[in-house]
Amino acid sequence: MDLKTVLTKETINLHLKGTSKEEIINELLDVLVSAGKIPDRAVAHAAIMEREQKMSTGMKHGIAIPHGKSPTITDLVACIGISDNPVDFDSLDKEPCRIFILTLSPVEKTGPHLQFLAEISLLFKSAEKRAEILKAASSDEILRILST
């Protein structure tokens, strides 16, 4: 999967302001709404929060990947947000997160969702990539980092 087909300059926020899991998720949903990627914010929010209640999507190394499946989504959508400050996201390693990748996919399509999550996981195993992402000064720079 080419991440640049899913992520665009409009779906990247370099300065998330939220200080809680709920605030971060709401900011990321606002990014997708502004980019015209989700038709029903309330349904999308419910899908993300339902998944989050089952098990936190806070991973390791300061990364969280909140995700869900929504009946109002026809193709996988995603956005990336970088927080200016670390946020507690109930991560597996108990560390706060600064890099957030939110994704929503259609209920009936599992393949693209799993492929996207696998691609993101591989990409962020690199400490160098994570450091580059955190230092990025523009959306274009984020897209360049993700495609190399």
16: exposed, middle or buried (C-beta count within 10 Å: 0-12, 13-18, 19+)? buried
What's 123's domain CATH number?
A: 3.40.930.10
Domain that holds residue 9: 3-146
pTM: 0.92
At 55-72, the pLDDT tens digits run: 888 988 999 999 999 999
Task: Please give the tally of structural domains in the chain.
Answer: 1
Are 19 and 130 in contact by the 8 Å Cβ rule? The answer is: no
pLDDT at 2: 62
Are the CB atoms for 35 and 10 separated by under 8 Å? yes
Which residues of the chain are under the pLDDT cut of 50? none
Six token digits for residue 72: 């109002």
